[in-house]
Amino acid sequence: MPPPLDELRHTAAHVLAYAAQDLYPEAKPTIGPAIENGFYYDFERAEPFTPSDLAALERRMHEIVAADYEMTGEQVTREAAVRHFAQNPFKVELAEAIPQGEPITLYTIGGFTDLCRGGHAKSTGAIGAVKLMSVAGAYWRGDERNPMLQRIYGTAWPTHAELEAYLLQLEEAQKRDHRKLGAELGLFSIEEDAGGGLVFWHPKGAIVRGIIENFIREGLLARGYLPVVTPHIMSEKVYERSGHLENYAHGIFGPLEVEGQRFRLKPMNCPGHILIYKSEGRSYRELPLRYAEFGTVYRFERSGTLHGLTRVRGFTQDDAHLFCMPEQLQAEFEQTADEAIRLITAFGFRDVEYFVGTRDDAVRVASDEVGEVAIRKALESRGLPYDVDAGGGAFYGPKLDINVHDAIGRRWQLGTVQIDFMLPERFELTYRGSDGADHRPVMIHRALAGSLERFFGVLIEHYGGAFPAWLAPVQVVVAPISEHQLGYATTVRDRLRAAGFRAEVDEKSDKLGYKIRHWKTQKVPYILVTGRAEAEAGTVAPNERGHDEKRPPITVDAFVAELRDRITRKL
């Protein structure tokens, strides 16, 4: 029975440090945790690691794995740990930072001993397959004021077959990389002149974004949400009162001084929605109140963490906040869960995971149990399995996280729904009850797509840029064989546009084969070929994406019916 993957990969990180100690004694090991799909280890070394160095390290790692060294551990005093690592200031710093009362342990394989809290395989032989992937820079403890280290990434698996499957997945992922496809398909760009982590939506990308927003708006309208719009900056005092300045200080941009008052770019939409609620007296007859906004927020992300659309500094959320009476909480959460399922299903995700995030015992209050019960009941009543993410709740309460697996099996965290008893208390929100007394409402924070930028990036990679017809920015290109059919091709395009489709004409004088190849690389769902015969008969010859066989000509009306059916069925 192989050990859990995180233990196997943690052991592989130790094996990497052991190999580095043997081959490059001047390289000082610092930290090396297991991460999703692999592990890394950070080293201080003046000379950069090269590809040939990685190959040598990997060969030495294979030898250490084959030797099947037992992983042994011992608890030591702080003084003993500091003495052991006297030549490595990074390990000394780690040892000295371990809180009083916590055990300090050293783990050894073969001739290598590391400071570690544990969680390993029993021996190095448990690692069935290991491969080093890349090297990158990383600041010590993630702080740019600290020394720059070299981070070596690797992956480890119980068997070679699993490693090969993972490498094939990586190869497919590179083809689907949304940054590459975004440029090739003219969807978006990150303009360094404007600053990293800020997204420029090009016309085709903006069309898809609009389709996503309209789909979400349909659900909001059907469920009685009210649109609101809030400012992009607000007084710092608002975020002090909400607790965001205290709990998310690392992710909030610095203050803007205006006439002696400090403002902040908004990191969250909820304080703005709270102020709208608070702007007038509320009655129980008004509740639930559901405010919705496609609200753009700003988060400070270090440049090294930015990644295309999936990690940015400015992004728009399909954000909504519900204010309800406690007895309405269950029904409100359930309708939110239904809307999440509708969204995920429509956009083609079939493999979904649900996680109930609870708060740590240190900050847990009695109302947390109420929120957790509401989340569990909503999921259980719909037959949706879930796992508990202990300690994963928001600072103001428990939450539901929705993860999806894309077409090649990767997991992405998208939507989140959070139950909040804290912010209504902080802002002293009330409603007048049927008994004539003031009562405190409950809040639900809801962003089902999450960040539209991230959601779009995930969609690009899920579909490999080949969006289904209902979502494609250009659904049809009419390609005349020669300039003599250009007039007819334009007439066909206009009929398609009148029917509500996104259609274009290829007016270039290129040969037909080149036109078809070009539009296939642009992943357009349909190319309609129009030659002399089609122009005379009033037909088109469809070339459908993903189908190599040649289709016979059909009437324009027949094609309109075919495409309308696909769009209706979200295909």
pLDDT the model gives residue 505: 97
Give the pLDDT of residue 394: 77
* 321 is a catalytic site residue: yes
Q: Please report where in the chains the tokens 């398909």 appear, as a residue.
A: 185
Is 399 designated active site?
yes
Residue with tokens 């390290």: 57
What does the block give as tokens for 236?
């710092």
The confidence score (pLDDT) of residue 247 equals: 85
Please, which contacts does 136-141 make with residues 24 or more away whose CB atoms are closer than 8 Å? 137/304, 138/42, 138/304, 139/304, 140/30, 140/42, 140/44, 140/90
* CA torsion through residues 396, 411, 297, 314, sign: positive
| Pick from 15, 311, 305: nearest CA to 155 | 15
Q: Which fold has domain 5-172?
A: Threonyl-tRNA Synthetase; Chain A, domain 2 (3.30.980)
Provide the CB-side half-sphere exposure for 291 (13 A, CA).
20
Q: CA quadruple 163, 168, 174, 178: dihedral positive or negative?
A: negative
Q: Using CA atoms, how far apart are residues 208 and 315, in angstroms rounded to an integer? A: 16
The dihedral built from the CA positions of residue 332, 333, 336 and 338, taken in this order, carries a sign that is negative
Q: Can you read off the two tokens belonging to residue 399?
A: 């939450």
**Cβ atoms of residues 473 and 204 within 8 Å:** yes
**383-436, pLDDT tens digit by residue?**
999 999 988 887 788 999 999 999 998 899 999 999 999 999 999 999 999 999
313 catalytic, yes or no? no
* Contact criterion met (CB below 8 Å) for 421 and 367: yes
> Which residues partner with 161 through β-bridges?
none
Annotation says 319 is catalytic: yes
Report pLDDT for 544.
94
Q: What pLDDT is attached to residue 393?
A: 82
Name the CA dihedral angle for 557, 561, 564, 568, rounded to a multiple of 10 degrees: 160
150, 270, 290, 410: the active-site residue: 270
One of 14, 209, 282, 399 is an active-site residue; which one? 399
**Is 50:150 a contact under the CB 8 Å cutoff?**
no
Residue with tokens 């803007």: 256
Looking at residue 317, its pLDDT comes to 97
The DSSP H or E segment spanning 154 is strand 148-157
Active site residue 244: no
Among residues 28, 176, 321, 493, which one is catalytic?
321
E strands in 222-359:
226-227, 233-235, 256-258, 261-265, 289-298, 314-324, 351-358
Cα–Cα distance list, 141 to 36, 97, 149, 274 (Å): 19, 12, 10, 36
Domain boundaries, the chain: 5-172, 182-227+281-463, 231-268, 476-568
pLDDT digits (tens), the chain, 571 positions:
778 999 999 999 999 999 999 999 999 999 999 998 999 999 999 999 999 999 999 999 999 999 999 999 999 999 999 999 999 999 999 999 999 989 999 999 999 999 999 999 999 999 999 999 999 999 998 888 899 999 999 999 999 999 999 999 999 999 999 999 999 999 999 998 999 999 999 999 999 999 999 999 999 999 999 999 999 999 999 999 999 998 888 899 999 999 999 999 999 999 999 999 999 999 999 999 999 999 999 999 988 789 999 999 999 999 999 999 999 999 999 999 999 999 999 999 999 999 999 988 777 888 889 999 999 999 999 999 999 998 888 778 899 999 999 999 889 999 999 999 999 999 999 999 999 999 999 999 999 999 999 999 999 999 999 999 999 999 999 999 999 999 999 999 999 999 999 999 999 999 999 999 999 999 999 999 999 999 999 999 999 998 887 899 999 999 999 999 999 999 8
Class of domain 182-227+281-463: alpha beta
Element (H, E) at 555: strand 554-555
Give me the catalytic one of 150, 317, 418, 522.
317
- The active-site residue, picked from 53, 114, 319, 506, is 319
DSSP state of 210: H
SS (H, E, C) 84-148: HCCCCHHHHHHHHHCCCCCCEEEEEECCEEEECCCCCCCEHHHCCEEEEEEEEEEEHHHCCCCCE
Give yes or no for a contact between 397 and 359, defined as CB atoms under 8 angstroms apart.
yes
Global pTM?
0.88
Backbone angles phi, psi at 457, to 5 degrees: -60, -40
Residue 83 burial (CB count, 10 A): 12
The phi, psi pair for 553, rounded to 5°, reads -60, 145
Q: Which of 28, 445, 493, 523 is catalytic?
A: 445
Q: 319 - beta bridge partners?
A: 293, 447
Catalytic residue among 120, 299, 446, 515: 299
Provide the pLDDT for residue 363.
78
Nearest to 520 by CA among 568, 461, 479: 479
Which residues, in sequence order, are CB contacts of 525 under 8 Å at separation 6+?
467, 468, 469, 472, 475, 476, 544, 545
Instruction: Decide if 547 is catalytic.
Output: no
Question: Do 182-227+281-463 and 476-568 agree at the fold level?
Answer: no
445 part of the active site: yes
Radius of gyration of the chain (CA): 28
Please provide the CATH number assigned to the domain covering 476-568.
Answer: 3.40.50.800
